Amino acid sequence: MRHIISVLLENESGALARLVGLFAQRGYNIDSLNVAPTDDPTLSRLTLVTQGNDQVIEQISKQLHKLIEVVKVSDISEAAHIERELMLVKVKAAGNQREEVKRCADIFRGQIIDVTPATYTIQLVGTSDKLDAFIQALGTTPILEVVRSGASGIARGEKTLAL
Amino acid sequence: MTSQTQPDDKSAEHNRSTEMLSGAAMVIRALADEGVEYLYGYPGGAVLHIYDALFQQNKVKHVLVRHEQAATHMADAYARASGKAGVVLVTSGPGATNAVTGIATAYMDSIPMVVLTGQVMSHLIGGDAFQETDMLGISRPICKHNMSVRRPEDIPYLIKKAFHIAQTGRPGPVVLDIPKDMTMPNQKFPYHYPADINLRSYQPKQHGHSGQIKKAVTALLSAKKPILYAGGGVIMGGAANELTELAQLLNLPVTNTLMGLGAYPAGDKQFIGMLGMHGSYEANQTMHHADVILAVGARFDDRVTNNTKKFCPDATIIHIDIDPASISKTVNAHIPIVGLVKPVLTDMLALLKQKKKKLDTAALAQWWQQIDQWRAVHGGRYDTAAPLLKPQYVIEQVSKITKGEAYVCSDVGQHQMFAAQYYPFNKPNRWINSGGLGTMGFGLPAAMGVKLNYPDADVVCVTGEGSIQMNIQELSTCKQYGLGVKIINLNNGYLGMVKQWQDMNYESRYASSYMDSLPDFVKLAEAYGHVGIRVTTPEELQPALERAFALKDQLVFLDIHIDPKEHVYPMQVPGGAMNDMFLSKTERT
């Protein structure tokens, strides 16, 4: 099953390498990984999407906790949460296709953020599923480039993952 | 990303202290302030400033090994015997990579150790400089934590942090990488060694959850077929006394893991031997049929459980461990308790003493009757009528002459299992072996580390002709420091454990398990300035041992030629349950 794990870790050199190394060493898989400093510059917030049964996810969470620089770990997909991913897609858009791509982007509430006579670059934000669906919906439109940020997530309601 | 996290009151600390030291002097001074007596290491370009600082003081003594791996095993064995972190100093590049096996060995057995590795100058890092290697990258998966020095003034804080992390929670090795320019002798900084360290991201638990402890006590009191399964956590956690008291209060049969030998006295009637792959028949049977298993500081390793799907089908498992990741990792625990074993056992004892509910003595009496029947089945028997020397007999005789009081440092292989099975450990911290990683070459440097710190104790290295050659150069270090270790070389001319598996699984095709052209170990010992004695018959053994142990301060190398065909039994049948065992070459449960 797909899980979204949020981690607060010390913003120190080597901390990220240690965390990523843990996944490689123990054979856990990473679907996506997203990391940046928080409002507190000594802390980084990391969102990691992984797959595994309950036992594997429990081990991942425990092993992450063991890393000295990890401050907090939470499997936010266990409860109500919000998930967002940013995608930039550059597509070939000439002739009839131009209008169709624009319509499709509008349906998905995407924005065209760069234009040339032959291409569009579309920005889209949503759950990873929604981004997948948009790529499907582009159909025969030739895709030139896809850049995805990986999911970021936050718990709904008053629950927080902070110091 | 920013560099190191700094203590908040750093400037205040600096104002109080006026002493100015170079980075190199700070390294040594911090070790002295930490109470370190011995530093095990090997000099080289990147650590020469530190060695020079070492030379100019006399609080911290340095032991010069012949290969960096030996330095790590010496420090590791000191930690296993004393409970305190051992300290290693090696240079960059090959110095650091030679230490890797020793770091991994300590990591697998949760042994506290601080390893200081030299590094090339900061501005050269990443440029493939002479003797540069990414030691942080290399050591990351095999140590509890690693760090590098970015500013010389951080050295005291980082050394304190290294000791703190190494020695608390689940212990382990910590690597501190020190670029050469952090130790320049002419650049001085205010020195202050912090009294303690508080890390917001690392707050290991001490006490167990009281509700869980209550549940565990209730389960133990209603058990009809209980067993106590104790591991290395009891030894490193200094909880052998509490464990023994608990076991005796509840009349529990006790089995120790390979790492836990000595946690409960082997001479006591409630001890039923080691469990697992080469565990006793009775220990494995008792585990398999138990209704309640109290696991303390043990981790349900694959060398214990055999096939986890068939593991102890009727048992309610109580698991006490400091590391939550060890709980329900391979075998599901019904009552997990996260905490240090000593306070958890103390809390359990207090609760048990208040409880009105009595033990089910009738059921326990029946259980013990059953266990005694199992005891009679194998009983550690071996062929005593054979004309060739049996390794089991050798260990029994070593135990006799040392009155079961020696520190026994083992290498890895058949001899290790024979020592574990036939030397009765009545005290903790006396059995020193590489259980998790299984590092051949561990035994001799381990014995050296113990002997150096406990010069009046009998220190035995049980080894084989394969293992001993993996660090035999250390015979020279032994001479330099007068380390009177007794080496029991169980020489069968084969890599015995490999051969045993080849006998059992490969129709005795001995692929690379026979060693031709072995050296004359007696002459070799003599060449290094020690005493060598060869033993080839059972009659020669007793006098040779007497002579060896009478030579108190001398290293004696006993080259003992044993039956090359001997196998280690009992042995669990691969893929089976705990109690599926071979009992000899011809018997199977």
Q: What is the 3-state secondary structure (H, E, C) of B131-191?
A: CCCCHHHHHHHHCCEEEECCCHHHHHHHHHHHHHHHHCCCCCEEEEEEEHHHHCCCCEEEC
Contact B201 A62 (CB under 8 A): no
Contact B201 A69 (CB under 8 A): yes
Reported as a pLDDT band with limits 50, 70 and 90, residue B358 is confident
For residue B385, the model assigns a pLDDT of 87
Residues of A in contact with B147 (CB under 8 A): 14
The verdict on B402 and B529 lying in the same domain is: yes
Asked if residue B371 belongs to a domain, the reply is yes
Prediction pTM value: 0.95
pLDDT tens digit string along B32-68? 999 999 999 999 999 999 999 999 999 999 999 999 9
Contact B324 A62 (CB under 8 A): yes
For residue B3, the model assigns a pLDDT of 44
The verdict on B320 and B398 lying in the same domain is: no
pLDDT at B11 over 70: no
Q: Which domain holds residue B259?
A: 210-377
Asked if residue B582 belongs to a domain, the reply is no
pLDDT at A58 over 70: yes
Calculate mean pLDDT across residues B84-92.
98
Task: Give how far A56 is from chain B: nearest CA, Å.
Answer: 9
Asked if residue B419 belongs to a domain, the reply is yes
The verdict on B405 and B534 lying in the same domain is: yes
Calculate mean pLDDT across residues A70-84.
96
Reported as a pLDDT band with limits 50, 70 and 90, residue B381 is very high
Q: Which residues contact B12 (CB under 8 A, 6 or more apart)?
A: none
CA-angle at B542, arms to B536 and B543, nearest 5°:
90
pLDDT at B4 over 50: no
Q: Report the percentage of chain A scoring pLDDT > 70.
A: 100
Q: What ipTM was reported for this prediction? A: 0.92
pLDDT at A70 over 70: yes
Asked if residue B203 belongs to a domain, the reply is no
Residues of A in contact with B136 (CB under 8 A): 14
Contact B201 A70 (CB under 8 A): yes
pLDDT at A15 over 90: yes
Residues of B in contact with A68 (CB under 8 A): 144-145, 165, 199, 201-202
Asked if residue B573 belongs to a domain, the reply is no
Calculate mean pLDDT across residues A25-44.
95
The verdict on B260 and B368 lying in the same domain is: yes
The residue of A11, A55, A60, A68 whose CB has the most chain B CBs within 10 angstroms, and thus the best one to mutate to test that interface, is: A68
CATH assignment of the domain containing B214: 3.40.50.1220
For residue B130, the model assigns a pLDDT of 96
Q: Of residues B131, B212, B270, B473, which has the active-site annotation?
A: B131
Contact A68 B202 (CB under 8 A): yes
* Residue that terminates a domain, selected from B155, B190, B225: B190
For residue B1, the model assigns a pLDDT of 39
Tell me how many domains chain B contains.
3
pLDDT tens digit string along B285-306? 999 999 999 999 999 999 999 9
The verdict on B462 and B556 lying in the same domain is: yes
Task: Give how far A88 is from chain B: nearest CA, Å.
Answer: 26
Asked if residue B253 belongs to a domain, the reply is yes
Residues of B in contact with A21 (CB under 8 A): 140-141
Quote the DSSP letter at residue B468.
G
The verdict on B285 and B420 lying in the same domain is: no
pLDDT at B13 over 70: no
Torsion of CA B438, B443, B445, B448, to 10 degrees: 140
Q: How far apart are the first and last CA of chain A?
A: 29
Asked if residue B202 belongs to a domain, the reply is no
What structural domains does chain A harbor? 2-78 (3.30.70.260), 82-152 (3.30.70.1150)
Reported as a pLDDT band with limits 50, 70 and 90, residue B355 is confident
Report DSSP letters for B409-467, one per residue: EE-SSHHHHHHHHHS---STT-EE---SS--TT-HHHHHHHHHHH-TTS-EEEEEETTT
The verdict on B110 and B225 lying in the same domain is: no
The verdict on B129 and B268 lying in the same domain is: no
**3 state DSSP class of A127:** coil
Asked if residue B239 belongs to a domain, the reply is yes
Query: Cα separation of B234 and B255, whole Å?
Result: 12
